[in-house]
Amino acid sequence: MSERIHVAIVGGGIGGLAAAAALIHRGISVAVYEQSTALREVGAGVFIYPNSLRQLERMGLGDGLAAVGAEVGTGSEYYRMDGSIVGKILTTDSSNWNGMYGMHRADLLAAFVGSLPSGTIHTGHRCVGLSQDAAGAHLTFENGNVASADVVIAADGINSVLQKYVVEPSAPEYAGCRAYRGLISAAMIPEWRPEAHQVWMGDGKHFMVFPVRRGELLNYVGFVPTTNATAESWSAIGDRDELAASYAGWDSRVTNLLSKVETCFWWGLYDRKPLDKWVSGRLALLGDAAHPMLPHLGQGANQAIEDGTALAVLLDDCENKRSIGAALESYESLRRPRTSMVQAEARKNGLRYDSKYTDLGQRDKEISSSSAFRKSLYDYDIEKEALALIRARGLVSSERA
């Protein structure tokens, strides 16, 4: 990049901060605007898989993540609701690299914050509008402040304020499912396999557990069908008795864990059909603002990290500010097919997990044979793909010249 570009990111969640880290790693000026008065994540777990971890390690975050993450590997298995084994859960890429952590969201957020220069993040900035002209993109905030940048990245979630400047707004689609989630001390269940990600499936619902925070805590999530839409919230208090009753008669490992739960949260599951556009002028959508997905592949945060990496690589290649539009169009063309595929596969995997099959033997066969797809998912290297796109387009340009 021969001419310095300044990027404004709206949204200080995982996707926005990952994009900031990727851009700053490549020497691009960044400001992050977050609507909350303080950066915080509630007590919930998230997976970091090989496809995003290799990118984060290249940004210099590897040691920090290793210090707070919980490596997931040995003993990871799928079960029917009665505890009978269906198959192993893949925890490596095809090279057998185990680049998979269970992370407390607050720990992941703190790792990103710690990697950014002081003054990068501006809290208490709720974005309410955007305009663009030849000089740049201009953001207005509820607090009366304004900010200008060469590029704006909308990382402001499934209910994005900025999405309407790219496409006609559409309501998120409710998946008919409520997820109960929470954390429990691993010391309360000493017999639990310390590195295990375990998933129980059956009866229209499923339940999973995996370690976070160096294995000190277990993150559990119970996915329960509902007839009425539940809010898409990370902080709504759930009913722990209702949660326990939903899994009565399941494997004793599930019921024993739930007997020790004191409090939990719930949130409704939503996604959206793939958007027709992600980019308009200097504005690009990222993460849930572009491609909200159900959590049944654990790829929501990972795909947002891929988005940020792709943007950083492509913007770094800009020879001058006049190249920004082409870089953002390249970002959309590179990312939309992959995230649309992951969105669709997450929906399909939810049907497997919730036993929406007339023949559970077929379901079990698909679960057991899913490692080939998982390997392709984890092997994907967005940095290499973006660099290959740059090379290919450079060759085409030179041939046309």
The answer to whether residues 51 and 378 touch, using CB atoms and an 8 Å cutoff, is yes
Domain span including residue 85: 6-171+279-400
| Residue 197 included in any domain | no
In the structure encoding, which two tokens stand for residue 161, read together?
A: 């304020």
The answer to whether residues 212 and 194 touch, using CB atoms and an 8 Å cutoff, is no
pTM score = 0.95
Q: Which residues contact 146 (CB under 8 A, 6 or more apart)?
A: 138, 139, 140
pLDDT number for residue 229: 67
| Residue 110 included in any domain | yes
| Residue 162 included in any domain | yes
The alpha carbon of 168 is separated from its chain's Cα centroid by a whole number of angstroms, namely 24
pLDDT number for residue 42: 64
Q: CA gyration radius for the chain?
A: 21
The answer to whether residues 85 and 77 touch, using CB atoms and an 8 Å cutoff, is yes
pLDDT number for residue 393: 82
Taking CA 249 as the corner, what is the angle to CA 248 and CA 251, rounded to the nearest 5 degrees?
A: 110
pLDDT number for residue 401: 36
Q: How many Å apart are CA 201 and CA 207, to the nearest integer?
A: 7
| Residue 384 included in any domain | yes
| Residue 188 included in any domain | no
Q: How many Å apart are CA 176 and CA 179, to the nearest integer?
A: 10
**Number of domains composing the chain:** 1
Q: Residue 387: how many CB atoms within 10 A of its CB? A: 15
Give the domain CATH number at 377: 3.50.50.60
| Residue 83 included in any domain | yes
pLDDT number for residue 376: 97
Q: Could you report how far apart the first and last alpha carbons of the chain are, in Å?
A: 21
Q: Which residue in the block uniquely carries the two structure tokens 């559409």?
A: 170
The answer to whether residues 113 and 122 touch, using CB atoms and an 8 Å cutoff, is no
383 closest CA partner among 309, 277, 333: 309
pLDDT number for residue 1: 53
| Residue 75 included in any domain | yes
| Residue 254 included in any domain | no
- Tens place of pLDDT per residue across the chain (401 aa): 557 899 999 999 999 999 999 999 999 999 999 999 887 766 689 999 999 999 999 999 999 999 999 999 999 999 999 999 999 999 999 999 999 999 999 999 999 999 999 999 999 999 999 999 999 999 999 999 999 999 999 999 999 999 999 999 888 999 999 899 999 999 999 999 999 999 999 989 999 999 999 999 999 999 999 877 665 554 566 778 889 999 999 999 999 999 999 888 888 899 999 999 999 999 999 999 999 999 999 999 999 999 999 999 999 999 889 999 999 999 999 999 999 999 999 999 999 999 999 999 999 999 989 999 999 999 999 999 999 999 998 754 444 33
